[in-house]
Amino acid sequence: MALTLKDVSVGSRVKVVKVVGSGAVRRRIMDMGITKGIELYVRNCAPLGDPLELIVRGFSLALRREDAKMIEITINK
């Protein structure tokens, strides 16, 4: 099983390997700038655990954990 963005902790720097799924949700994620090869920083998490705050291409983005499970990643050292 691949590691997904849903599984990482706050403060992690990750690289997107693949955006899985199909349809409108996948397209919306890619339209937000989350595409293969891009680096993300998990900046914060809401008090109840959802959504995640990410830094993507220099801007801040909130993403639900339900959508984050569609993004396969590797952790940068």
Structure tokens belonging to residue 74: 């590797």
Identity at 32, one-letter amino acid code? M
pLDDT mean values, one per 10 residues, the chain (77 residues): 87 94 90 93 90 94 92 88
- Each domain of the chain, given as residue ranges in start order, spans 5-75
State how beta strands 39-45 and 52-56 pair: antiparallel
CATH number corresponding to 5-75: 2.30.30.90
pTM recorded for the entire structure: 0.86
Distance CA 65, CA 29 (A): 12
Nearest of 23, 1, 3 to residue 71 by alpha carbon: 3
